[in-house]
Amino acid sequence: MKPSPPPDYLAGYPEELVAPVRRLIAEQRLGDVLRRKYPAAHEVRTDRALYDYVQDLRGQYLRNGAQVSKVAFDSKMHVLRNALGTHTTIARVQGGKLKAKREICVASVFREMPPEFLRMIVVHELAHLKESGHDRHFYQLCRHMEPAYHQLEFDVRVYLSHLAAGGAALWAPEERDQGGNPTASMGESCGTFARQ
């Protein structure tokens, strides 16, 4: 059985945007270009920190939007669902009433990315609290929360193409021993945090 090719994260983009990316991948220079444009990773590493980050953005832009009861990084999302983030509504019966809870999961690949990339995926999932589809209103809301939304989405896809081509993770934090020397890369864990 022939292995399936890596996903084409840049499918649908015009050739004049994709060709330079392919050239940089072939020349093994794409990582350097991305590191110059986005030099540092964000500090949101835990589900609790991600929850607080999402709530801050929601409070800033969607005060009247639905509450989010759970936010988590998900280490299996990208592989299993071919998605980078999800938003779900869970309906539960409590007493005689039907209560809906909103949840947002973000692929754990975003744990080790620049703050701009994390903001892009969180803005995308928050926009789904008001707009279910990917239509004009949805993208207007995304641009309201993050004016550079479309450029950031393209750059995330460029980075994912870099990874799919065998490129190294660019913003992976290093663990350090007691002497401050780098050790092996941090392991990935997926927990959940739910606010009751």
pLDDT tens digits along 127-139? 999 998 899 999 9
Alpha-carbon span 173 to 156, nearest angstrom: 18
Alpha-carbon span 113 to 45, nearest angstrom: 10
Confidence label for 19 from pLDDT (cuts 50, 70 and 90)? very high
Please provide the average confidence, as pLDDT, over all residues in the chain. 82
Strongest mean pLDDT among 12-16, 90-94, 180-184 = 12-16
Q: pTM for this one?
A: 0.80
- Express as a percent the part of the chain with pLDDT over 90: 56
Estimate to the nearest angstrom the gap between the alpha carbon of 161 and the chain centroid. 14
First to last CA, the chain: 48
**66 vs 20, which has greater pLDDT?**
20
One-letter amino acid of 43? E
Strongest mean pLDDT among 22-31, 164-173, 175-184 = 22-31
Q: Note the pLDDT of residue 94.
A: 75
**89 vs 181, which has greater pLDDT?**
89
Average pLDDT in the 60-78 region?
84
Alpha-carbon span 168 to 151, nearest angstrom: 22
Q: Note the pLDDT of residue 98.
A: 77
Task: Using alpha carbons, list the distances in angstroms from residue 6 to 10, 62, 165.
Answer: 11, 36, 8
